């Protein structure tokens, strides 16, 4: 009966893989895609998992490079909690790698427990990213500059007059510590370039050139804008990963596999008690189709009722009831 009605079902990787619904198909499946249909949900979860693994590897690399080299690549906030923040970041990197691997595994198993843990860890990574940027980017250090003791003319023009320290007027509320981090990185870069240069006079000239160039590249204001821009981009990316993970969890709970799901997408936003599972949905659709065929309501399906239903379902079956019955001789042949 299902073959006559055009209900084909073939096994797919991790799901039912049935055809989409048309005028002759009872069972409905909906594709699950992201990025305006550019990727399937399964591919989206794998991309998010790969990005999470890459982020975790970067965090572990920076931590191990600081430990084994003895020269920190990046200052991890103020000195009073720098070591604790560095250790927490390394631990978070290991968790991110585990989360990415779990995300890949969830696309193969389609088990709700894997998808749920993957989404929760993504949320924890989002919280850690916010805390890390606050701990590193918010602290400031008050900088002082020397100004002449007498600022009024003509006394300010006198040579050799004493000076007095005042708060840097460019940063009256304090200079962000990330500016000093970038300055330290520039200094280590100049030392590394000079170390590889053997000619003494050429090394001196290049050191001055490097100092001038790096002084005009990534100034403190540029560093602050770049730092918080990096923060915004990372949080947007992490938020989208959380959305993809949550979408995948809903699809898996409804019997989907990240490519197709049974039922409309509107069921994903309903409470689970108000929706039907995949098996109950199939049973309900079969019962509805049977009620449409059983016109006399006797609970039995006759040949005339089936022919009448087929004529109403597709133009291909028009006139099927008017065809004469084959005679007994044709049946015997």
Average pLDDT, rounded, for the chain: 76
Measured torsion, CA atoms of residues 103, 108, 112, 117, in degrees rounded to the nearest 10:
-20
Alpha carbons 100 and 97: distance in angstroms, whole number: 5
Angle, nearest 10°, between helix axes 112-137 and 41-69? 40
CB contact at 8 A, 287 and 276: no
Q: Provide the 10 A C-beta neighbour count for residue 133.
A: 17
Please write the tens of the pLDDT for every residue from 164-222: 777 777 777 788 878 777 777 666 666 666 666 666 666 666 666 666 666 666 778 88
Q: Where are the domains of the chain?
A: 33-142+169-267, 276-313
Q: Residue 145 belongs to what H/E stretch?
A: strand 144-148
Measured torsion, CA atoms of residues 15, 18, 19, 22, in degrees rounded to the nearest 10:
-120
Alpha carbons 20 and 80: distance in angstroms, whole number: 61
Q: Provide the 10 A C-beta neighbour count for residue 82.
A: 15
Angle, nearest 10°, between helix axes 177-195 and 220-253? 100
Alpha carbons 60 and 67: distance in angstroms, whole number: 11
> How does pLDDT run along the chain (333 residues), one tens digit per residue?
444 344 433 333 333 333 344 433 445 678 888 888 888 999 999 999 999 999 999 988 888 877 777 666 666 667 778 788 888 988 999 999 999 999 999 999 999 999 999 999 999 999 999 999 998 888 887 777 777 766 666 666 666 677 777 777 777 778 887 877 777 766 666 666 666 666 666 666 666 666 666 666 677 888 888 889 999 999 999 999 999 999 999 889 877 888 988 777 777 776 655 665 556 666 777 888 888 888 888 888 788 888 888 877 777 777 777 777 666 444 444
CB contact at 8 A, 295 and 308: yes
Q: What predicted TM-score, i.e. pTM, was given to this entire model?
A: 0.65
- With left for phi above 0 and alpha for psi between -120 and 50, is residue 75 left, alpha or beta? beta
CB contact at 8 A, 157 and 149: no
């Amino acid at each position: 009966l299902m073959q006559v009605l055009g209900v084909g079902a073939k096994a797919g990787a991790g799901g039912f893989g049935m055809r989409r619904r048309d005028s002759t198909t009872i069972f409905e499946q909906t594709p699950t895609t992201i990025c305006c249909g550019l990727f399937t949900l399964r591919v989206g979860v794998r991309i998010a998992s790969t990005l999470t693994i890459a982020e975790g590897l970067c965090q572990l690399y920076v931590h191990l490079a600081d430990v084994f080299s003895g020269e920190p690549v990046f200052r991890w906030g103020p000195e009073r909690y720098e070591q604790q923040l560095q250790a927490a970041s390394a631990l978070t990197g290991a968790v991110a790698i585990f989360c990415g691997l779990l995300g890949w595994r969830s696309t193969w198993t389609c088990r709700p427990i894997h998808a749920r843990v993957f989404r929760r860890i993504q949320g924890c990574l989002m919280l850690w990213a916010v805390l890390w940027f606050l701990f590193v980017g918010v602290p400031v250090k008050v900088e002082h500059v020397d100004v002449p003791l007498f600022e009024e003319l003509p006394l300010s023009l006198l040579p050799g007059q004493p000076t007095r320290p005042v708060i840097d007027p460019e940063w009256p509320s304090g200079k962000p510590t990330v500016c000093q981090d970038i300055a330290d990185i520039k200094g280590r870069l100049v030392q590394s370039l000079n170390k590889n240069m053997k000619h003494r006079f050429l090394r001196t000239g290049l050191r001055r050139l490097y100092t001038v160039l790096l002084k005009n590249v990534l100034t403190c204001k540029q560093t602050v804008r770049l730092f918080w821009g990096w923060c915004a981009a990372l949080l947007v990316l992490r938020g989208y990963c959380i959305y993809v993970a949550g979408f995948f969890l809903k699809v898996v709970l409804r019997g989907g596999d990240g490519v197709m799901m049974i039922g409309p997408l509107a069921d994903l936003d309903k409470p689970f008690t108000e929706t039907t599972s995949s098996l109950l949905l199939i049973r309900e659709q079969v019962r509805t189709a049977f009620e449409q065929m059983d016109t006399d309501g006797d609970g039995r399906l006759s040949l005339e009722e089936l022919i009448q239903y087929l004529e109403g379902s597709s133009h291909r079956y028009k006139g099927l009831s008017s065809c004469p019955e084959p005679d007994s001789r044709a049946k015997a042949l």
